[in-house]
């Protein structure tokens, strides 16, 4: 019971408590919707992955037994790790800049991140195809300058996937960082400076450690989104960049092996779910959108 409830409660167990206990009922319809169209379909995947028609672990054995599938696993972790590291290297200074400029400048910088963030992923990935493709804009320029005679392979490989994915996921790094950094008391840095610390020392000993929760929030979020990402690897990756998500599509659509596809889905879900539990228990759900408040 909070103060608000006590204030409006003339008799013990009166309308305040009654009101609050009934407020939960607003959840009934959304809950039914989510159980039917979210929880149930995902739990059906579990069933598909373990039965065929009797109980079996063969689909999981296949996943860990065949080099082609292990390669997808390796690709996915490799791509996700790189994307997380690059996003951190680009995102940290940007979030830091946002906290040291005036509120007006910060608003402009935030909009410059928000607009691409809300632009369709498909549009942004297509834009990279126009820029990096075989006959794309970069190759046009390089060839007209005579830097190269044959077009460089900039997409349908690891490079293309990484560029495209960093572009899509960078805002998910910036916003959690910004939400943590903007809550750091700037007086602490000022105090360190007045006590004789150099700007570098004040940053490394005071600001950086205080911003670490934002770093872990951003990294976990970017990594978990990268692991299950489909659109960009499918469009910008080549045959060597089959990831977990694109493998699922391949198995389900081309091989029509729904049991194996389901087991891949369950595996992916387990990885993402574990990371999400970690994220929300350690760092708080409100950081997810960067709208977190103290």
Partner 1 sequence: MGPALARRLLWTYCGLTLGFLCAPIVIVVVVSFNATEFIQFPPRGWSLRWYENYLGARQWIEPTLLSLRVAAVTMVLSTVLGTAAAIGLTRGRFRGRRVAEFFFVSPMVVPSIVLAIGLYLLLARFRLVGQPLALYLAHSVVATPLVIVIVSAALRTTDAAIELAARSLGAGYFRTLWHVTLPSILPAVLSGAAFAFLASFDEVVLAIFLGGPTATTLPKRMWESVRYEIDPTLTAISTLLALIPIVLLAALAVARRTLTSATAPPAGIEG
Question: Is the Cα dihedral 182, 185, 187, 192 positive or negative?
Answer: negative
Q: What is the CA radius of gyration of the chain?
A: 24
DSSP secondary structure of the chain: --HHHHHT-SSTTSHHHHHHHHHGGGGHHHHHHHIIIIIHHHHHHHHHHHBSSSB--HHHHHHHH-HHHHHHHHHHHHHHHHHHHHHHHHHHHHHHHHHHS-HHHHHHHHHHHHHHHHS-HHHHHHHHHHHHSTTSHHHHHHHHTTS-SS----SSSHHHHHHHHHHHHHHHHHHHHHHHHTTS-HHHHHHHHHTT--HHHHIIIIIHHHHHHHHHHHHHHHHHHHHT--HHHHHH--GGG--HHHHHHIIIIIS--HHHHHHHHHHHHHHHHHHHHHIIIII-GGGGGT----
Give the nearest distance from C-beta 28 to partner 1 in angstroms: 8
Give the nearest distance from C-beta 21 to partner 1 in angstroms: 7
**Number of residues that make up the chain:** 294
């Amino acid at each position: 019971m909070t103060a608000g409830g006590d204030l409006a409660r003339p008799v013990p167990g009166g309308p305040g408590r009654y009101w609050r206990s009934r407020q939960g009922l607003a959840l009934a319809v959304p809950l039914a919707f989510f159980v039917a169209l979210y929880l149930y379909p995902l739990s059906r995947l579990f069933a598909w992955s373990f039965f065929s028609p009797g109980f079996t672990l063969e689909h999981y054995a296949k996943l860990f037994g065949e080099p082609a599938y292990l390669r997808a696993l390796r690709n996915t972790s490799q791509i996700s790790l790189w994307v997380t590291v690059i996003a951190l290297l680009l995102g940290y200074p940007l979030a830091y800049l946002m906290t040291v400029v005036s509120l007006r400048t910060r608003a402009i910088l935030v909009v410059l991140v928000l607009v691409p963030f809300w632009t369709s992923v498909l549009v942004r990935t297509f834009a990279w195809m126009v820029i990096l493709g075989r006959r794309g804009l970069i190759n046009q320029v390089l060839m007209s300058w005579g830097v190269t005679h044959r077009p460089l392979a900039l997409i349908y490989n690891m490079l293309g996937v990484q560029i495209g994915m960093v572009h899509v996921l960078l805002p998910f790094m910036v916003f959690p960082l910004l939400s943590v950094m903007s809550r750091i008391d700037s007086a602490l840095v000022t105090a360190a400076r007045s006590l004789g610390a150099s700007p570098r020392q004040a940053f490394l000993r005071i600001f950086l450690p205080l911003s670490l929760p934002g770093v872990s929030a951003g990294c976990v979020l970017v990594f978990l989104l990268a692991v299950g990402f489909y659109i960009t690897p499918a469009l910008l990756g080549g045959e060597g960049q089959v990831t977990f998500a694109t493998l699922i599509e391949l198995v389900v659509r081309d091989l029509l092996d729904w049991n194996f596809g389901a087991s891949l889905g369950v595996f992916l879900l387990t990885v993402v779910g574990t990371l999400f539990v970690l994220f929300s228990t350690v760092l708080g759900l409100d950081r997810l959108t960067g709208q977190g408040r103290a």
